[in-house]
Amino acid sequence: MMLVATIFLPLVGALFLLAIPGDAKALHRGVSLLTSLVTLGLAVALWTNFDGAQAGFQNEVQATWAPSLGISFHLGIDGVSLLLIALTAFLGPIVVASTFHAIDTRVKEFSIALLVLETAMLGTFAALDLVLFYVFWEAMLIPMYILIGVFGSERRIYATVKFFLFTFAGSVLMLLAILFLYGKLPEGSRSFDYGALLTLSLSHEEQLWLFAAFALAFAIKVPMFPLHTWLPDAHTEAPAAGSVLLAGVMLKMGTYGFFRLAMPLFPEAALAAQPLIAGLAVTGIVYGALMCMAQSDVKRLIAYSSISHLGFVMLGLAVLTPEAVTGAVYQMLNHGVSTGLLFLVIGMLYERRHTRAMDAYGGIAKVTPGLAAVFFIATLASVGLPGTNGFVGEFLVLSGTFLGKAALAQAWSVIAAIGVILGAVYMLTLYQKVFLGKLSAVNEKLRDLSLREWAVTLPLCIAIVWMGLLPGPFLDLMKKPVQSMTERVVGKPAAPERPHFPGALPPKLQPPRLPWMNHVPSMLEGVKK
């Protein structure tokens, strides 16, 4: 029941807001902040009651919804769902509090859209009935459509319609695929239940078609190259809060969809599509990075960097080794935190100067040292510096890919590694252009972070460092779900082979093993060489 409460509390808050008159702005802000904080509290409680050592789903809730169609209200979480729910609930109050200043008109609509969006996102991560999943998945579109279209900048209508149509077009074919799966179950026991559909045995050709339908929906959401074109527009035009949720949570819907649905349901097809997905993923990594270098708009740059970062996630998922998939899931969380923070800070800059052009800034670290410091931490996380969360994820993905058995694995990891280098180049260039250099006269009066702004950025900074230094608890939670997913798709791995590298350091000279290194069994030595 706690899961249901966590998911639907924001919706209850939104319904409550409906009854409050629109001019009581402070009340709207207060209620939405309170709601999202309590939701966060519930998510924390979920986490503490969660048993990471147990395989399968926990906190399951199953109730009939539309039995004549076989839809049930089936929710449940495993470690990966839990982490993503925690991420969503964590970003919730931050996003709400970050908009107290930026959004001053139509606060009621804004708050309602934000809370409804939160419920839809939380529900998507917990749905274990495919139609329920689809309902949450589509329900996300409407509030986000309003957030971008009403509260965005100049080209908001174009951006929001493009966003809606791209995502909608992708997902309708998924709906047909879901209906097809339903029809494959024997008459009498037909349902849309995830567990039941996992038992289906589908022919190779069916799997390919169905995987294609699911993958299209998810690839648009991720977004994977070349289906990414909605993203720069949507991110750029969205209000800061919208960008944070879009980048922080919504893009993970796509990768989560691959992890939870597309790959486990159609394992043969997932393997068959491996070269394609991995190829598009590394293309996205490099393409996104190159596009970043060409941007003069700060927000657009971060948007393209998302394409590059999500490329890592997709690469890790495609490779299907436990390490790489673990890294991919970790990278989902990282991207949520670090890119969320980047968009927040850019939103704060925009509030001050009302421009997103890189040239308009320069040298402002002198007047806004706090803002610069926060941005720098986010930059480092985004670049993947050791000690930040980005490093752990990227390292796991790259090493998992390199040592995986997939065709061309080494080539992919090398190309992806080039993406890491390019990432450092564009992110540091961005930092340099905005915060270092000569301070122009117009920028001399910029204020530094206010107390409220510190309050919203600091938790994210702490998360970045925490997840970088102590990833153990997070990785432990992923272990079982990742294991069951990869085993389902590629089968149980043979006895772990410990590659012997001639000239490896004798055991006592080896560096101390950090907890997360256990997830990189033995290959650590090799990579260190």
Binding site for another protein (CB under 8 A): 22, 64-69, 106, 109, 131, 134-135, 138-139, 141-142, 145-146, 149-150, 156-157, 160-161, 164-165, 168-169, 172-173, 175-176, 179-180, 182-183
Residue 169 is encoded by which pair of tokens? 């077009």
Please say whether the dihedral angle defined by the alpha carbons of residues 104, 107, 109 and 115, taken in this order, is positive or negative: positive
Residue with smaller CB distance to another protein, 148 or 289: 148
62 pairs with which residues across the strands?
74
Query: Please, what is the minimum distance in Å from the beta carbon of residue 66 to another protein?
Result: 5
Residue with smaller CB distance to another protein, 66 or 421: 66
CB 478, CB 83: distance < 8 Å: yes
Residue with smaller CB distance to another protein, 131 or 222: 131
Question: What's the CA gap between 128 and 192, in Å, rounded?
Answer: 9
Residue with smaller CB distance to another protein, 254 or 311: 254
Residue with smaller CB distance to another protein, 99 or 308: 99
Question: What's the CA gap between 365 and 369, in Å, rounded?
Answer: 5
Query: Please, what is the minimum distance in Å from the beta carbon of residue 267 to another protein?
Result: 23
End-to-end CA distance of the chain: 50
71 pairs with which residues across the strands?
66
Query: Please, what is the minimum distance in Å from the beta carbon of residue 224 to another protein?
Result: 19
Q: Helix crossing, 389-402 with 298-319: angle to 10°?
A: 40
Three-state secondary structure call for residue 472:
helix
Residue with smaller CB distance to another protein, 54 or 62: 62
Query: Please, what is the minimum distance in Å from the beta carbon of residue 299 to another protein?
Result: 20
Query: Please, what is the minimum distance in Å from the beta carbon of residue 261 to another protein?
Result: 17
User: What are the Cα distances from residue 380, in Å, to 329, 342, 406, 468?
Assistant: 19, 11, 30, 11
Q: Name the residue with tokens 């993905």.
A: 397
Query: Please, what is the minimum distance in Å from the beta carbon of residue 240 to another protein?
Result: 18
74 pairs with which residues across the strands?
62
Q: Tell me the HSE value of 236 on the side-chain side, using a 13 A CA sphere.
A: 22
Three-state secondary structure call for residue 193:
strand
Residue with smaller CB distance to another protein, 169 or 294: 169
Query: Please, what is the minimum distance in Å from the beta carbon of residue 123 to another protein?
Result: 11
